[in-house]
Structure 1
Amino acid sequence: MKPLGAEEIVGVWGTVLLPVQKNEAIDWGLLDEEIALLLNTGLHGIYTNGTAGEFYNQSESEFDTLSEKVAAAAELKGVPFQLGCSHPLPLAALERVKRAKSLHPGALQVVLPDWVAPNRVELFRYLEKMAKVADPVGLVLYNPPHAKKYLKPADYRDILSEGFPIVGCKTAGGDASWYKEMASLPQPFSHFIPGHKLATGMQLGAKGSYSNIACLHPKAALKWYESIQTNPSEAKEWEAKLGLFFQEAIFPLIQKDGYSDTAVDKFLAAIGGWSEIGTRLRWPYQGVPMELVLKKRKQLEEIFPGFLPRIRY
């Protein structure tokens, strides 16, 4: 695949979730099935090793196998793909970029150094070397709210003004003034926001989402995206229903019960029923029990009847 420009990174992208067996090994056969399902949905692209992909808990050989499998399958289907090269250790992230670049992804995703937050000079030094190694593939900055160094619109402006080939970001978004600032950046830049805020975000200028709604169900996420394009008022109604479901059924798992975002994303896939990857996380992390799936699916159906397709594909 050729490197993607910022203007080509749009829409709903689905993450590859890690199927973990009881013995902690990755179920590679189940992973192949999951990749095939994602590639057949019509998603605008797929990507590896966001938080939900447990990038921080893979060996380097596992990282390579995962990247190679996704690259080969996506190239065969002609679906855009990005490879997540994040690692808490900057040197390990750099080596992941070196190896993943050879698989010709559309973009490479990275986090900023996280054990010690970088100052401005260190941030530029980090991006300079990462971009040089990744060239000609552009970088997407994965910058969630819990990052030690959380970037504001002014930071993205500084980064782009320095000429670094950063083509996009994955971030939590913000208020209307945040979107206005992001829209005024000095060159094309693809800012993606959380999936459950997509209708409002796109109306304010967001380009798409590395989507938790695609975790819930890829085809349902695409149907909502199409509604945003063709029927904005209906799409906002959908967003309100999804927001209520997350507020009542999903966010308490994080805020009250202490489950991680990773656990919740895998749990969403179990609720949606489109894959058999399960909810188990790698040691020492804890997945949401499968016993809760039917209860939460019923809540979704009560709040938003018909959102989930009836037939598993």
Structure 2
Amino acid sequence: MTMTSRRHPIAGNWASLLLPIAEDNSIDFEKLGEEIDILIAAQVDGIYSNGTAGEFHNQTETEYERIQEMLASRCRAAGMAFIIGACQPDPIIMLDRLRRATAHKPLAIQVILPDWWPLTNLEAIDFLQRASEAADGIPLILYNPPHAKRVLRPAELSDVCGPCPSVVGMKIADGDDAWYAQARVYLGEFALFIPGHHLATGIKRGVAAGAFSNVACLSPRGAQAWTALMHTDIDAALEIESRICAFMDSDIVPFRREHGYSNAALDKLLAAIGDWGPVTTRLRWPYRFISEQDANGLRDRARRMIPELFAR
């Protein structure tokens, strides 16, 4: 296999499907449908379900099926690309989710490595090969976030995913200059999706295909316009990125660093700050969520710091 033969056209700004959680801890499916319609109208490059911010780790299998059916049916009707997350720390449940996801014919299916006990490379290869068989020809995206029990370096990602031709891409954190150099050496055949607030840097360095984007949590339309700008004026896009990162560092990351909130809580905070749809900051029990008052207090600041994301 050549360095580009498995490259898949999946790319760009992908919006996370966030779960509207009611006060009784149930999923509000009526609001979920509204959210999907809003994301479609924003003309993002695609919508993906069941990432960390989509709370894949905290839903029943019946709920899982209903979420995917709602996403798939609305996206198909609108001609919107979509990816289904089959992620689950339990490998048996994950493979079952993956098999059920194939019926919806998504552009790709996202998986993680089983995560109660970290896998060796050989175990990871075995799992991904089994997942490839279950995917029935649908491409796979490996999600290996910084909070995984085992975070793979570029060379390790190549070792694990290389033997599995169905794995066409990875959702991973980027890093410093050394990381980018290693990514170019080892991961050139894969579509790499990096954190949304670093996407302009990843595009500039010729490494990133796109982002499953926290910036789209803040503003789906704004993130889409910013992504388009990267291909016409990368310097302007990088300048906007510097202000996005400044906002994240000063106003969002402290909720995790100093108060212990989860990444999902931060993404839902961003959506509430953006105020573009029916998603509140509420997470499913037992996870703590950031107050709506905090979101309201940051709304004007976000618009002052990054007005381009909120232009009409």
Shorter-chain TM band: over 0.9
Q: Which moved more, 1:175-184 or 1:97-106?
A: 175-184
SS at match of 1:170: strand
Aligned-pair CA distance for 1:306:
4.7
2:210 to 208, 211, 214: 208
Hey, what does 2:3 align to over in structure 1? none
The answer on 1:10 being equivalent to 2:15 is no
Residue 243 of structure 2 corresponds to 241
Tell me if 1:93 matches 2:94: yes
Partner SS for 2:34: helix
- Inter-partner Cα distance in structure 2 for 1:64 and 1:95: 11
Report which stretch shifted further, 125-134 or 179-188.
179-188
How far 1:14 sits from its partner (Å)? 0.3
Check conservation: 1:161, 1:186, Cα contact below 8 A. no
Cα deviation for residue 186 of structure 1 reads 7.1
Q: What percentage of residue pairs aligned between the two structures are identical?
A: 39
Deviation at 1:179, TM superposition (A): 2.5
Alignment of 1:293-308 (within 5 A): 293-308=295-310
- TM-superposed CA distance for 1:120, in Å, is 1.6
Q: CA deviation at 1:250?
A: 0.4
User: Which deviates further from its counterpart, 174-183 or 88-97?
Assistant: 174-183
Per-residue Cα deviation, 1:172-221 (whole angstroms, up to 9, x for no partner): 11223322332344763110000111111111121110000000000110
Q: Who is 1:127 aligned against?
A: 128
For the residues of structure 1 that align with 2:250 and 2:8, how far apart are their CA atoms?
Answer: 36
Distance in 1 separating the partners of 2:200 and 2:162: 29
Secondary structure, in 3 states, of the residue corresponding to 1:83?
Answer: strand
Equivalent residue letter for 1:301: R
Q: Which whole-Å CA distance do the structure 2 matches of 1:157 and 1:20 have between them? A: 38
Q: Pairwise CA RMSD of aligned residues?
A: 1.4
| Residue 269 of structure 2 is aligned to residue 261 of structure 1 | no
Relative to structure 1, the CA distance from residue 194 to residue 186 in structure 2 (aligned partners, 3 Å threshold; closer, same or farther) is: closer
Specify the code of the residue in structure 2 equivalent to 1:142.
Y
Contact 1:160 1:186 in 2 (8 A): no
Which residue pairs with 1:109 in the alignment?
110
> Is this contact kept in 2: 1:160–1:187, CA < 8 A?
no
Structure-1 residue corresponding to 2:173: 172
1:251 partnered with 2:259: no
SS of the residue aligned with 2:156?
Answer: helix
* 8 Å contact from structure 1 (residues 249, 299) kept in 2: no
Post-superposition offset of 1:106: 0.8
1:31-110 mapped onto 2 (5 Å cutoff): 31-110=32-111
Distance 1:265 1:23, change over 3 A: same
CA-to-partner distance for each residue in 1:42-73, whole Å, 9 max, x for gaps?
A: 11111000000000000000000000110111
SS in 2 for 1:140: strand
Which among 279, 282, 290 is matched to residue 288 of structure 1?
290
Q: Contact between 2:122 and 2:160, CA under 8 Å: does it hold in 1?
A: no
- Seen in structure 2, the aligned counterparts of structure 1 residues 44 and 306 have a Cα distance that, compared at 3 Å, is closer
Shift of 1:222: 1.0
Measure, in 2, the Cα distance between the counterparts of 1:276 and 1:78. Answer: 22
Gaps of 5+ in 1: none
Secondary structure of 1:7's aligned partner: coil
Counterpart residue number, 1:183: 184
- Contact 2:172–2:193, Cα closer than 8 Å, also in 1: yes
CA contact 2:222–2:308 (8 Å) conserved in 1 = no
Q: Cα deviation per residue 1:231-252 (whole Å; 9 max; x = unaligned)?
A: 1111111011111111111011
CA distance in 1: counterparts of 2:44 and 2:232, whole angstroms: 17
CA distance in 2, matches of 1:99, 1:131: 14
TM-score of the two chains, using structure 2 as the length reference: 0.94
TM superposition shift of 1:9: 1.0
Q: Which residue of 2 aligns with 1:273?
A: 275
Change (3 A) 1:222 1:238: same
Instruction: Structure 2: state its 5+ residue gaps.
Output: 1-5
CA distance in 2, matches of 1:80, 1:115: 31
CA distance in structure 2 between the partners assigned to 1:221 and 1:307 by the alignment: 6
